Structure 1
Amino acid sequence: MTHAKILPHEVHITAIRAQGAGGQNVNKVSNAVHLRFDIHASSLPPELKARLLAWSDQRITQEGVIVIKAQEHRSLEMNRADALHRLQALVDQAAHVDRPRKATRPTHGSKVRRLTGKTQRGEIKTLRGRVSD
């Protein structure tokens, strides 16, 4: 499948207060980002939409909305870029289709080598037995 690009007007980004350590700054500055991307309303190809909706990912809601929260960085811009990057990575992962595996058979030489190795090993084991007079 081709590389699907996320259009900026399809993404809804909200600035929220971050959790965790940060002292007074965390209580007064909204640096975390809450990103919402509606799969149904997007311009993605129908096959990709179906693959995303079929995934059992905790970031995808029952209504088909991808929710990503980014609060790793101290600046709002870096968190916004991080959230968009993670959304694009999720879509790219869904767009990747593995090639079907072609079944192969062992060659004649590999079969012969395997069987001669087994017979040699068996002969070694028979020599470990009791010695008769």
Structure 2
Amino acid sequence: MSIFHKIKVQFLNQELSFQAARSSGPGGQNVNKVNSKIILRFNIPDSQLLDESEKDLLMKKWAHKLDNAGDLIIQSQEKRSQVQNKTIAIRKFYEMLNAAFQKRKLRKATRPGKGAIEKRLKAKKIQADKKKYRRKDW
């Protein structure tokens, strides 16, 4: 099964762990009473659904986002509801996963066309003439 198929069908949901905490987001008094913030954790080294090459790629690309145990931590506290925040955190996770596995398009080196070269040289000539006519010895 390809990684993009795993992402599309949200195959990795069974390896995600969630924790609720008090949110600092919107909600008024609700914020002080209800644990609406969701913390999503995904442990890359312990994943049974990813193969070794996929794990290595994620460990490299997400090195600055991982803790010492290899956990990716995503927090969501945008909404007042724990369920909505959980949905947002899962969506963020799969968007990050999709972005990590996208191949970057290679840049092809190109040269400027004849018209662009002529235009540049013409502009340089005009600028040079302008400065030439400003001199006192002209």
Same fold (TM over 0.5): yes
Q: Does 1:105 align with 2:72?
A: no
The 2-side partners of 1:90 and 1:118 are apart by: 47
Instruction: Identify, as 1 or 2, the structure richer in helix.
Output: 2
Which residue in the other structure is 1:91 paired with? 97
- Quote the offset at 1:33 in angstroms: 1.6
| Partner AA of 1:81 in structure 2 | T
The 3 A distance-change label for structure 1 pair 70 and 113 is closer
1:17-63 C-alpha deviation (Å, 9 max, x unpaired): 3346743x4444332222111112332354442232123434x2122
The 3 A distance-change label for structure 1 pair 19 and 127 is closer
The 2-side partners of 1:47 and 1:99 are apart by: 20
The 2-side partners of 1:85 and 1:116 are apart by: 53
Q: Does 1:80 align with 2:86?
A: yes
| Partner AA of 1:57 in structure 2 | H
1:49-97 C-alpha deviation (Å, 9 max, x unpaired): 2232123434x21221111222222111101101111111221221223
Q: Is the 8 A contact 1:48 1:94 kept in 2?
A: no
Q: Is the 8 A contact 1:11 1:36 kept in 2?
A: yes
The 3 A distance-change label for structure 1 pair 45 and 131 is same
Which residue in the other structure is 1:37 paired with? 42
| Partner AA of 2:115 in structure 1 | G
Q: Secondary structure at the match of 2:64?
A: coil
The 1-side partners of 2:107 and 2:24 are apart by: 45
The 3 A distance-change label for structure 1 pair 71 and 112 is closer
| Partner AA of 1:121 in structure 2 | Q
Alignment TM-score, normalising by the size of structure 1: 0.77
| Partner AA of 1:105 in structure 2 | R
